[in-house]
Amino acid sequence: MNAPLRISPLHDVQVSHAARWTQAEGMQTPASFGADDAAKLVLAGIGDLSFRRRAGVKGAGAANWLNALGIATPPRHNSFLHMDDGTLVARLGTTEYLIEDAPGGTHADRISAATPGERIYPVPRFDAALLIAGTRAPELLRQTCAFDFDRLLPDGQALAMTSMAGVGITVLALDGPAGPHFRLWCDGTWGGYLWATLVEVAGDLGGGAVGLDALGSLAGQHNDASPWRHANN
Amino acid sequence: MTRIPVMPDEWVDRCRVVRFRFEGHAFEGLAGDSIASALWAAGQRTQGRSFKYHRVRGILSAANHDVNVMLQDGPRLNTRGDVVALREGMDLTAVNTFGGLAQDRARVLGLFARFLPVGFYYKAFHSKRLFPKWERLFRRITGLGVLDFDTPHIRTPKCYDFCDVLVIGAGPSGLAAALSAAGAGASVVVVDENARAGGSGLFQLGGDEARRLQTRTLLDKVRTHPRIRLLEATCAAACYADHWLPLIDAERMTKMRAQAVVVAGGAFEQPAVFRNNDLPGVMLGSAMQRLIYRYAVRPANRAVVLTANADGYRVALDLIAAGAVVAAVVDMRAVVPSSAQLDELSRKGVELLAGHAVYEAHAGLDGELAGATLCRIDAAGAVVPGSLRRVDCDGLAMSTGWAPSANLLYQAGTKMRFDDLLQQFVPSRLPEGVFACGRVNGVYQLDARMADGRRAGAAAAAHAGCGTAVDITVDAESESPSLAWPVVAHPDGKNFVDFDEDLQVKDFENAVQEGYDNIELLKRFSTVGMGPSQGKHSNMTALRILARLTGKSPQQVGTTTARPFFHPVPLSHLAGRGFSPQRHSPLHGRHAALGAVFMQAGAWERPEYYAVAGRSRIDCIRAEAGRVRSAVGLIDVGTLGKLEVRGPQAAEFLNRVYAGRYDTMPVGATRYALMCDESGVMVDEGVVARVADDVFYFTTTTSGAATVYRELSRLNVEWKLDCGLVNLTGAYAAMNLAGPASRAVLAQLTDQDLSSQAFPYLGVRTGTVAGIAARLMRVGFVGEWGYEIHVPAEYAPTLWDALMTAGEASGIAPFGVEAQRLLRLEKGHLIVSQDTDGLSNPFEVGMDWAVRLDKPFFTGKRSLQIIRKMPLKRRLVGFHLPENHTGQVPLECHLIIADGDIAGRVTSIAWSPNVGRHIGLAFVLPSMAEPGTQISIRVTDGAMVQAEVCTTPFFDPDDLRQKESS
């Protein structure tokens, strides 16, 4: 039997807008929303990175357990790091971790398959994972979130758990050649609402939904070779 | 009244003519004009009518307080003409008129003024018999503007913003504060409600160019400073906790969060009180200066200046600079301090009258100012008999005092004290992180205001963690900027204190005489300060009058509460772009494609039923339920709360949380879970599944999921048990495959042994379904053989599709919440929060079996032990209507009546196709709980419907359909 198809939590709100689809990490994901994706990305682009595999774990023994699995952990709470292979490791609070594989990565699967020991509590993560980029991204964030995102930028390794448009999110800022962009995660069941809200506000700012093709390296941070498998529908 | 030569900082663009209409007549103004300035420049001095007596009114402040010049601009009502910028094509009418501004029929009300005393509204409504009459009358003649109910919903964006230091007011002190704070390294935002920054520094000049240049220099530095953002035409409308301030501009509300706030909002100039002080042409001195320097309009050709401070002398000089003749400067002080301005006016031959006042103003045939009678006053402010003298003038400037713009300071929690020297309330204790400077802080001299700004700015920056506070000496005032008694008595009244509400001096005297001698009572009885300007020009004078009438000091009288907003905020700004978070199951798209009609369930949208063309809602629901009973149905139950607790003390944790017992539960079993609060009230329910010795997976109600997880997390921290709690509600999807054919459908997709021996009722198994890792539970909420299948959310649509395909041959179809409610009712299963309420305990709903009082502890145990010993007050029972019932059917919450009293209520009711009659659950008195008891239910129109208490389940009482033999 083939591996079952993963469906993005944002699929329902994207299905009537996407122009072309692709499969990334076994998940059906919009490759394009239209010819103006790149232009929207310059101003206020919203991308769906839910396809990236992730896992979570929390508990007093979580850090040591992850380290034993070869996964580095951030020394400070509410911060993140990128491993050399592009894996993102975020420390949420004191003893909870979110691990997101770079495309092609296997850490998430290894964590899910491993047997946790004492005071280690697996947290399955099937989040809606979004990317916000563009010169007007800060304005988009200010219209939807009461958090001061400038406080994330100077350090470059801090993350925040806050509320955006009424939805609880985890968010961090990353530097890139085109300026800072933002990664955020929320419970997938809120994802459709949050996506639609952000796309609507972004539309007022000249931006909107952006497919994987236009996102390019932004979708595979630390891995510019676009390793996900493209299979246009 | 004409345009004067170019002013250095004028706001108008002389190259752009703006055409508009006012009261049906065509006018022209200049881009940058306010509506009022354009009208004034065109000679239109009468611009509105007063609220109560419909007296003609003109410009008073030109500072967003002229509520008698409010205009209807298409769908925009109550446009404030004194500040709103002129736009091409405006078609304006004055509000609050009957038949237009010039021929307002309601002006006749002025003739009946003596029959409209203070407190008239209250007295009118005192008679119950006449109440409706007065209500109709008041509704007809009051209200400002005409509301257009077809006005489109303007979805203005809302915005959050942040800074280290927020400076409110961009006058000299505010600008100095901003530069000082930014110089210390703080990020600074300066807001000013005016279209352009600079404040009084650019219009209160007294003909002294140096004053303007000082402010201009500050302003240029602010505009170019990299750490300062200057927001013009933006009003700080309120001050909330933690330094949250809504900033209102033309487009949006910005919620600003500042580390520190500097209030440099200045002061409101206060009208003097004398007869006819409301005639068009009588205005505040600062209003005249605004007309001159902002709009390049000469306010009057021949003016009298009434003053009691240095500002009035500057007004006189500014009028002369604008080409006006100043007939006299009338100073209410007996002794006038020497000053350069005084000398300059003397040199210019202006008549200077100390110890004088304006006794009354006179209207010409057009109702506008044509002259004034001056008088001498004694030390107590009384008119000296025989001293009256008339002067012709078309302008009368009032510069007798100020009141601090302290509204935001009050809202922030500032303690204020009345300074006798200044005759003004000033901050005595500022809240942490809030600072004040300039006139609001009792500092009036220009150099001192800037010094005060530098002090406040540095202190605010230091509070925000930038630099250190500096000790800057601020010179004390050499003379009082405000007169203690700017009131001139007149036997014929019309000496207005509150222009919003047409309140005269005698109204206050009468109110106090009637016993309203407290400032809060006086406010409510007289309505002083309750008009659109919220007392910015009346509260201080009202306070002075009350103090004199009661023999108290202003400090003793105190002030009323300053509430948000500082200025009216458009409802479109408040509504803005609404965020209504909506939660969707991973299967939402599948439901929509199947024609689901959604209903709200907490934050979720769930399928109420699936619409079928040509079928009614109820037929669809019954068909869905029938299919579950006859074949197989599939329902999305992913909205249930889904939690996992793991660790050596996980069972102990559940034992404490729920009323049942879980440490004795074998791995692979599930058990009903009932949660109570400390008082023994049922608050949630679910199913606990033991998937490993130290791992329990359990569900909560849909609406209770977030609350339960939050409370359990709190308890886990408090109890310090060796276990961890994980919320899987969003991470996992769940669907219930139910019906006689469910096993056959599932068997096609899994290798799991589905025999009742290997997978018995109330068992839990881990396996794969359609290649997807799943947890399966054999539960029977709807009373059929069935499986609740839980899978990672991202695979839910794939699994749904697989089940629907596998079930095609069996006639599978989805069913919604309403069909599920009917099915569970047939089984007599209650729903917590529908069949229970905020007082229900397990014993009165027949759930004694779910409570294990032999456990050492669980939440609510102590209360339940006590309740157990007491007689029940009610019982939840099943009931049915007669099989042949026709007529009205009771609804949920209809009352059960016995002997004329309420004896209970219906909690659930539905027509059951399988039972063949209406069935329901109801709370009744314990004495009525016996099966066979007849009960009377009062329906909506008061009629009584008879029903009979019966046993439950109504359907399949022996649960045969969930057993192998079925």
Under DSSP, the state recorded for B927 is: G
Distances (CA, A) of A184 to A164, B248, B493, B629: 10, 29, 67, 45
pLDDT, tens digit (0-9, with 9 covering 90-100), for A3-35: 788 999 999 999 999 999 999 999 999 999 999
The two beta strands, A121-123 and B48-49, are unpaired
- Whether residue A40 contacts residue A47, with contact meaning beta carbons closer than 8 Å, is answered with no
Predicted confidence band of residue B76 (pLDDT cuts 50, 70, 90): confident
**Comparing C-alpha atoms, which of B155, B159, B175 is closest to residue B167?**
B175
Tell me, yes or no, if A188 comes closer than 8 A to chain B by beta carbon: yes
Give the pLDDT score at A226: 36
Tell me, yes or no, if A121 comes closer than 8 A to chain B by beta carbon: yes
Give the pLDDT score at A154: 57
Q: What is the mean pLDDT of residues B780-797?
A: 96
Structure tokens at B404: 């601090």
**B158 contacts A193? CB cut-off 8 A:** no
Residue B798: list chain A partners with CB under 8 A.
Answer: 4-5, 7
**CA angle centred on B951, ends B946 and B956, rounded to 5°:** 120
Give the pLDDT score at B576: 86
Q: How many angstroms separate the CA atoms of B422 and B424, rounded?
A: 5
Distances (CA, A) of A39 to A198, A211, B352: 17, 12, 70
**Beta-carbon pairs below 8 A across chains A and B:** 115
Q: How many angstroms separate the CA atoms of B394 and B302, rounded?
A: 6
Q: How many angstroms separate the CA atoms of B828 and B826, rounded?
A: 5
Q: Give the closest-approach CA distance of B733 to chain A in angstroms.
A: 10
Q: Give the closest-approach CA distance of A136 to chain B in angstroms.
A: 13
**A12 contacts B647? CB cut-off 8 A:** no
Q: How many angstroms separate the CA atoms of B819 and B839, rounded?
A: 28
The domain spans of chain A are: 11-51+126-215, 54-123
pLDDT, tens digit (0-9, with 9 covering 90-100), for B645-701: 999 999 999 999 999 999 999 999 999 999 999 999 999 999 999 999 999 999 999
Fold agreement (A11-51+126-215, A54-123): no
**Comparing C-alpha atoms, which of B403, B385, B559, B390 is closest to residue B484?**
B403
Q: Write out residues 588-617 of B within 8 Å (CB-CB) of A.
A: 588-589, 592, 604
User: Mutating which of B726, B795, B805 best tests the A interface, going by the most A Cβ atoms within 10 A?
Assistant: B726
**B732 contacts A166? CB cut-off 8 A:** no
Residue B241: list chain A partners with CB under 8 A.
Answer: none
Q: Which residue of A has its CA nearest to B647?
A: A119
Q: Which residue of A has its CA nearest to B768?
A: A4
The two beta strands, B253-263 and B434-436, are parallel
pLDDT, tens digit (0-9, with 9 covering 90-100), for A139-148: 999 999 999 9
Residue A126: list chain B partners with CB under 8 A.
Answer: 730-731, 792-794
Give the pLDDT score at B3: 94
Asked if pLDDT for residue B600 goes beyond 80, the answer is yes
Tell me, yes or no, if B582 comes closer than 8 A to chain A by beta carbon: yes
**A193 contacts B584? CB cut-off 8 A:** yes
Structure tokens at B422: 């200044």
Q: Does domain A11-51+126-215 have CATH number 3.30.1360.120?
A: yes
Of A7, A50, A187, the CB nearest to B797: A7
Give the pLDDT score at B965: 67
Which CATH architecture does the domain made up of A54-123 adopt?
2-Layer Sandwich (3.30)
ipTM for the complex shown: 0.94
Q: Give the closest-approach CA distance of B186 to chain A in angstroms.
A: 14
Q: In degrees rounded to 5, what are phi and psi of residue B282?
A: -90, 120
Structure tokens at B821: 């409610």
Q: Which residue of B has its CA nearest to A190?
A: B583
Q: In degrees rounded to 5, what are phi and psi of residue B856?
A: -60, -40
Question: Collapsing DSSP states into helix, strand and coil, what is residue B409?
Answer: helix
Under DSSP, the state recorded for B809 is: G
**A8 contacts B158? CB cut-off 8 A:** no
Give the pLDDT score at A2: 67
Q: Give the closest-approach CA distance of B807 to chain A in angstroms.
A: 19
Predicted confidence band of residue B468 (pLDDT cuts 50, 70, 90): very high
pLDDT, tens digit (0-9, with 9 covering 90-100), for B838-877: 999 999 999 999 999 999 999 999 999 999 999 999 999 9
Q: Which residue of B has its CA nearest to A57?
A: B726
Tell me, yes or no, if A165 comes closer than 8 A to chain B by beta carbon: yes
Predicted confidence band of residue B190 (pLDDT cuts 50, 70, 90): very high
Q: Give the closest-approach CA distance of B340 to chain A in angstroms.
A: 51
Q: Give the closest-approach CA distance of A150 to chain B in angstroms.
A: 9
**Comparing C-alpha atoms, which of B769, B823, B800 is closest to residue B630?**
B823
Q: In degrees rounded to 5, what are phi and psi of residue A229?
A: -85, 115
- Whether residue B21 contacts residue B67, with contact meaning beta carbons closer than 8 Å, is answered with no
Give the pLDDT score at A232: 35
Cβ partners under 8 Å of residue B741, min gap 6: B631, B632, B807, B810, B811, B812
Residue A116: list chain B partners with CB under 8 A.
Answer: 646
By CB atoms closer than 10 A (0-12, 13-18, 19+), residue B736 is buried
Number of C-beta neighbours around residue B379 at 10 A: 7
Residue B589: list chain A partners with CB under 8 A.
Answer: 11-12, 15
Q: Give the closest-approach CA distance of B227 to chain A in angstroms.
A: 14
Number of C-beta neighbours around residue B464 at 10 A: 23
Dihedral Cα B278, B282, B284, B285, nearest 10 deg: -170
Question: Collapsing DSSP states into helix, strand and coil, what is residue B760?
Answer: coil
Distances (CA, A) of B313 to B142, B318, B322, B352, B356: 40, 9, 14, 10, 15
Q: What is the mean pLDDT of residues B392-414?
A: 97
pLDDT, tens digit (0-9, with 9 covering 90-100), for B550-583: 999 999 999 999 999 999 998 889 988 889 999 9
Number of C-beta neighbours around residue A158 at 10 A: 17
Q: How many angstroms separate the CA atoms of A9 and A27, rounded?
A: 10
Question: Collapsing DSSP states into helix, strand and coil, what is residue A165?
Answer: coil
- Whether residue B553 contacts residue B547, with contact meaning beta carbons closer than 8 Å, is answered with yes
Distances (CA, A) of A213 to A41, A227, B636, B945: 11, 12, 34, 66
Q: How many angstroms separate the CA atoms of A1 and B57, rounded?
A: 85
Asked if pLDDT for residue A228 goes beyond 70, the answer is no
**Comparing C-alpha atoms, which of B71, B921, B126, B61 is closest to residue B514?**
B126
Asked if pLDDT for residue B277 goes beyond 90, the answer is yes
Asked if pLDDT for residue B427 goes beyond 50, the answer is yes
The distance in angstroms from the start CA to the end CA of chain A is 21
- pTM above the 0.80 mark? yes
The two beta strands, B415-419 and B895-898, are unpaired
The distance in angstroms from the start CA to the end CA of chain B is 99
Q: Which residue of B has its CA nearest to A12?
A: B589
Q: Which residue of B has its CA nearest to A145?
A: B160
Structure tokens at B650: 């996980």
Q: Write out residues 10-39 of A within 8 Å (CB-CB) of B.
A: 11-12, 15, 27
Residue A9: list chain B partners with CB under 8 A.
Answer: 586, 793-794
Give the pLDDT score at B128: 86
Number of C-beta neighbours around residue B157 at 10 A: 18
**B647 contacts A121? CB cut-off 8 A:** yes
**Comparing C-alpha atoms, which of B410, B455, B457, B453 is closest to residue B163?**
B457
Q: In degrees rounded to 5, what are phi and psi of residue B590?
A: -65, -45
Give Dmax (Cα) for chain B: 118
The mean of the pLDDT values for chain B is 95
Of B257, B725, B795, the CB nearest to A6: B795
Structure tokens at B963: 């057993």
List the strands of the sheet with A208-210, edge to edge: A159-164, A167-174, A181-186, A128-133, A45-48, A208-210
Please report, rounded to a whole number, the percentage of residues in chain B having pLDDT higher than 70: 100
Give the H or E element holding residue B904. strand B901-912
pLDDT, tens digit (0-9, with 9 covering 90-100), for B700-739: 999 999 999 999 999 999 999 999 999 999 999 999 999 9
Q: What is the mean pLDDT of residues B196-203?
A: 97
Q: How many angstroms separate the CA atoms of B305 and B290, rounded?
A: 15
Under DSSP, the state recorded for B238 is: -
Structure tokens at A60: 């007093």
Structure tokens at B575: 């509504």
